[in-house]
Amino acid sequence: MSACVLQRSQLHDGVQRLLAVEKKTRLAADIPSSLKLTNAILDLCRQVKDWPFFMEQISLLCKRRAQLKKVHETIIQRATEWIEETPDQKTKRDFIDVLRTVSAGKMFVELERARMTRTLAEMEEKEGKVSEAADILQEVQVETIGAMKIREKVDFLLEQVRLCLAKKDYIRAEIISKKINPKNLEAEDISDLKLKYYKLMIEFYLHSSNYFAICKSYKAIFDTKSVQADPAQWKQALKNVVIFLVLSPFDSESSDLMHRIKTEKKLTELVLPKVVLDLFTTDELMAWPLPSDAEWKQDAVFSDKAEGAKRLADLHKRVVQHNIRTIAKYYHRLTTSRLASLLALTVDQTEEHLSELVSSKQLYAKIDRPTGVVTFSRKETPTTVLQAWSSDVTDMLSLVEKTCHLINKEYMLREHMTAAE
């Protein structure tokens, strides 16, 4: 014990002498000599492992008047390498806090400070303090750190998004996720980060039930080269693409994606998703429940206790909406009761679904309640009728002219052949 006390007293005495010489070299702006003295002080403190004194000297050296930038940078960079040598969690936390304090606002050590902040956030998370960990990590504006490589930067941003989702801060998670450009994730060496990004986005979109965004995220996962090499992974991803695609509200983009997915060769290996996608891309009425309804309900998407029932209800709604759009292609007018019969719904439910389609501009329809008639075709104005008639007449005259020309051509050929004989 006395040897340890003696060693520490000798350390204090030696450091004081080195500091006196360091002052002269610092004021003289002698960078090489200042670096040697500073490194000697750090090495002495590290050897003795007097961590409180070590932290005190780091703080003192960084805050000394007219301290040289290179010296300051060297202190932070060397000290960060010794964080894992601390004897316990409390010392480690105190050591990181000192380093973060002396590096605050210093752009030349922003990379080291960002890494220390992430280490501190990981410590907080391990202790179960997820909210505190998220707040600590969000202090770093990692997108402005030029010294950080693209892979580390993306990984840092994804960690921020993950912690925000863990603390249910969906607004901030969305803000941070927009700092990541999906095009930068296409490189093969960061395919693991691409998968992590889209899995986090799926978790975020599930919160708001944004089915089409979830579908596109699974499509990006399916298109990843590493996933394509694993049948189990791509089958699961493609199945989820189809499920969330049919759950998505109908528009031109979702319709286009449906027809593109339908041509995917690997879809033939998934029987149930292919059958359902064929039903949604064919202008025929679908029956509810769908074929293999029991298998659908066993899928994790629909068996989820929190959202499964809602997703089944949404799927039923998409089937009804598809049927209404199909009917509108074959009928100009029909009675409300007949429409309800075709949809296997009550009249009130039919009007509700029809009104939703009209309000979202997916369909044109008018309901005449006194007569109980639904009209799907727009009433054309006299101008529109006249323009259509004029266009038809023009087309007819063009055909007549082309026919006359062909007849004259045949006459000329016949006369030429007769003269030759």
Question: pLDDT value at position 1?
Answer: 35
Question: pLDDT value at position 194?
Answer: 93
* Coil vs helix vs strand at 272: helix
Confidence grade of residue 304 (pLDDT, cut at 50, 70, 90): confident
pLDDT for residue 6 is more than 80: no
Spatial strand order in the sheet of 366-368: 333-335, 373-375, 366-368
Q: Residues 194-210: pLDDT tens digits? A: 999 999 999 999 999 99
Provide φ and ψ at 306, rounded to 5°.
Answer: -80, -45
Confidence grade of residue 2 (pLDDT, cut at 50, 70, 90): very low
Q: Residues 167-196: pLDDT tens digits? A: 999 999 999 999 998 888 888 888 899 999
| Cis peptide, bond prior to residue 370, ω within 30 of zero | no
pLDDT for residue 114 is more than 60: yes
pLDDT for residue 3 is more than 50: no
Structure tokens at 214: 């979830």
| pLDDT (average), residues 88-96 | 91
Confidence grade of residue 27 (pLDDT, cut at 50, 70, 90): confident
| pLDDT (average), residues 273-299 | 88
d(CA 99, CA 59) in angstroms, rounded, equals: 8
Give DSSP secondary structure letters for 301-366: HHH-TTTHHHHHHHHHHHHHHHHHHHHHHH-SEEEHHHHHHHHTS-HHHHHHHHHHHHHTTS---E
Q: Please report where in the chains the tokens 């410590």 appear, as a residue.
A: 123
* Coil vs helix vs strand at 368: strand
Confidence grade of residue 143 (pLDDT, cut at 50, 70, 90): confident
pLDDT for residue 257 is more than 50: yes
d(CA 282, CA 326) in angstroms, rounded, equals: 9
Q: What secondary structure letter does DSSP report for 198?
A: H
pLDDT for residue 125 is more than 70: yes
| pLDDT (average), residues 324-331 | 92
Q: Which residues contact 310 (CB under 8 A, 6 or more apart)?
A: 209
Q: Please report where in the chains the tokens 């050591």 appear, as a residue.
A: 95
Sign for the CA dihedral angle at 211, 215, 220, 222 comes to positive
For 72, half-sphere exposure in the C-beta direction (CA atoms, 13 angstrom radius) is: 20
**What is the residue extent of each domain of the chain?**
1-104, 283-379, 389-421
Question: pLDDT value at position 8?
Answer: 66
Beta-ladder partners of 367: 374
Q: Which residues contact 11 (CB under 8 A, 6 or more apart)?
A: 44, 45, 48, 50, 53
Question: pLDDT value at position 421?
Answer: 66
Question: pLDDT value at position 133?
Answer: 93
| Mean pLDDT, rounded, of the chain | 89
Structure tokens at 244: 């969330």
Pick from 193, 147, 152, 153: which is nearest to 176 by CA?
Answer: 153
| pLDDT (average), residues 81-110 | 89
Q: Please report where in the chains the tokens 């501190």 appear, as a residue.
A: 120
pTM of the entire structure? 0.82
**% of the chain at pLDDT higher than 90:** 50
- Note the CATH architecture for domain 283-379: Orthogonal Bundle (1.10)
